[in-house]
Structure 1
Amino acid sequence: MKNFTTELTYKTSRSSGAGGQNVNKVETSVTVLWKVEESQFFNEEEKKLIQSKLKNRINQEGTLQLTVSESRTQLKNKKAATEKILEIVNKSLIKPKPRKATKPSKSQIEKRIKQKKQHSEKKENRKFRY
């Protein structure tokens, strides 16, 4: 996956929230950007799969964007952002196995019908008769 990480672009910004004097002057928050269409690492079929599975995360320009501000250091946030984007892209490439429709066996059908009859008889016996 070394080639894929070369296509990533990083932006830094000031993290929000509490953090004392450090938070207002140090840009520790890291945003990683990746243009899906311009990727040389994936073929067209894989790109389409990534775009369809991550359509809610990809903006109008076709850029997958992820911001991390977990750590107090820019380096750790950059590493975390890279790992997260790799994980997201890898997950989007997994194709689920197609579900094969199965029929219940004759014994299962008979068992179900038998249970339904027993249940119905039980309820019938509860009725008050004169």
Structure 2
Amino acid sequence: MAIPISPGLFLAESELEFSYILASGPGGQNVNKVATAAQLRFDAARSPSLPERVRVRLLELAGSRATRDGVIVITARRFRTQQRNREDAIERLAALLREATHRPTFRVATRPSRAARQRRLDGKSHRSAIKRGRSASYDD
């Protein structure tokens, strides 16, 4: 089964590796007995589904969730069942991948014009004069 990420980009579920671990959080005594937390591992560095620019941006966005080898590890323990935690981990990975597919807009650094700087300084001095006028200074 393929997980849709964006138009033209799908992730094969066979690329995901799951393990289940004991979780904290909701579940009562069940938490101590059943491994309900899902740990998803996705080898982004070697994934054939990802274009190179998405791969680079994904590893950059993943931050501490990515290992040195380029494997993204997501641990989901929000819910009481393995299945819900598994779905939550897949959705979190898909959201991270969707964010990685967006190209950041190229911004050209500009500097304020001389007139803009002067307007800013005029505004500051005007505001200063207003505040100065509020202080009660009586010279008797």
Asked whether the two chains share a fold, i.e. TM above 0.5, the reply is yes
Cα RMSD (Å)? 2.9
- Counterparts of 2:49 and 2:55, CA distance in 1: 9
Q: Does 1:37 align with 2:45?
A: yes
Of Structure 1 and Structure 2, which has the larger fraction of its residues in strand? 2
- Counterparts of 1:120 and 1:87, CA distance in 2: 48
Q: List per-residue Cα deviations over 1:38-84 (Å, max 9, x = no partner).
A: 11111222212212232332012221001111111111111111001
Q: Mind listing any 5+ residue stretches in structure 1 that lack a counterpart?
A: none
The percentage of aligned residue pairs carrying the same residue is 23
Partner residue of 1:68 out of 70, 76, 94: 76
Return the offset for 1:32.
0.6
SS of the aligned residue for 2:87 comes to helix
TM-score under structure 1 length normalisation: 0.75
Alignment of 1:1-130 (within 5 A): 2=3, 3-6=10-13, 7-17=15-25, 19-100=27-108, 101=110, 103-104=112-113, 106=115, 108-109=116-117, 111-115=119-123, 118=126
Larger Rg: 1
- For the 8 Å contact 2:22–2:31, the answer to whether it is kept is yes
Q: 1:95 to 1:119 in 2, by over 3 A?
A: same
TM-score under structure 2 length normalisation: 0.70
